[in-house]
Structure 1
Amino acid sequence: MTEDEEQELRIELARLRQEHADLDTAIQAMLETGRIDPLRIQRLKKKKLMIKDRIVAIEDQIVPDIIA
């Protein structure tokens, strides 16, 4: 992997982490305000999980698991 490719992955990783945190904040706000739309919360949680899976995949690309 070239340095440019790694840098692009790190930028994407930072963006995804921010989006993941934003979704978490949105879910918490919905729960705290009492404006609970179960379907919307379910969709947000599903999107958050998909983002988390993508984060893990990118982290594995940047720092591969090396079996010693």
Structure 2
Amino acid sequence: MENSTGSSRKELIEELERLKQEHRDMDDVIARLQEHAPFDQLQLVRLKKKKLNLKDSMNRIESQLLPDIIA
């Protein structure tokens, strides 16, 4: 079964898992950066923004995987 973007459910699940792993990795990178003071605030902001973008992508895929309850 394909959704409106043409991706199969299996492809969406695989992409979601990849994004989740990247999101966890980003947590680790941010934590390591903050351990070593002083750290580059601009780099921290960029990493946090990328992490937020990953979360947004994960949410979009999750919404595609869930059937519309309100139709």
TM-score range (shorter-chain normalised) is: 0.7 to 0.9
Correspondent of 1:9 among 8, 12, 25? 12
Residue ranges of structure 2 left out of the alignment (5+ in a row) = none
Separation of aligned partners in 2, 1:65 and 1:43: 34
- How far is 1:32 from its partner? 1.2
Residue ranges of structure 1 left out of the alignment (5+ in a row) = none
Please give the TM-score of this superposition, normalised by the length of structure 1: 0.88
Matched, 1:23 2:31: no
- How far is 1:35 from its partner? 4.6
Q: CA RMSD in A?
A: 1.7
Question: Which of the pair is proportionally richer in helix?
Answer: 1
Matched, 1:58 2:53: no
Relative contact order higher in (CA < 8 Å, ≥ 6 apart): 1
What is the percent sequence identity of the aligned residues? 49
